[in-house]
Amino acid sequence: MVGFYAYQRLFLHAPEALIWSDLYFRPHWQLFFDLFNSIPLLGLAALVSWRVGATGALAFFASMLLHCLSDLPLHNDDAHAHFRPITSWRFQSPISYWDPRYYGHLFAAAETLLVQLGAGVLLRSPVRAWRIIGALTLASYALFIAFAVLVWLPDAA
């Protein structure tokens, strides 16, 4: 998603409104996003990784699976086809993690709170690597908020 956005915004200079109202929903982009959110494909990749003993790849694909399972019930009109290539069916949830029309303001606040709490726990870890991950998580959230304020709020005005 970040790559899609960067490509559209930085290289093609597409305006925000066009990116999120039209370009994101074009069939070729939807197929691209669906493949990276495919529970069957990610499950297969995790299984193969486990069978060949590739623990790093297993952790990567397992984290993607966890993301997809938590993502599945949190999209309305922008739902992914999480079961491609088996089916192109999309579960359109009555709630959204971002869209205020579908309680997105509540879920965004809850997600932010949970991430901040998790990062705070990591910052208190005796393991240096976990503390670094906690600090990077907080820094990435701060950068995202700064980006949103600078780029998206002026467009909303």
Enter the pTM of the model. 0.76
Q: Is residue 87 part of a domain?
A: no
Could you write out the DSSP letters of every residue in 92-139?
--S--SS-GGGTHHHHHHHHHHHHHHHHHHHHT-SSHHHHHHHHHHHH
Instruction: Find the domain containing 134 and state its range.
Output: 103-157
pLDDT digits (tens, 9 = 90+) for 102-124: 999 898 889 889 999 999 999 99
- The first and second tokens of residue 84, run together, are 């491609």
Q: Is residue 118 part of a domain?
A: yes
Q: Is residue 20 part of a domain?
A: no
CA 92 to chain CA centroid, nearest Å: 17
Q: Is residue 90 part of a domain?
A: no
Q: Is residue 112 part of a domain?
A: yes
Q: Is residue 23 part of a domain?
A: no
CA gap 9, 72 in Å, rounded: 27
CA gap 91, 72 in Å, rounded: 7
Q: Is residue 48 part of a domain?
A: no
CA 74 to chain CA centroid, nearest Å: 11
pLDDT digits (tens, 9 = 90+) for 62-111: 999 999 999 999 999 899 999 999 999 999 999 998 889 999 989 888 98
pLDDT digits (tens, 9 = 90+) for 20-42: 889 999 999 999 999 999 999 99
* Domain count for the chain: 1
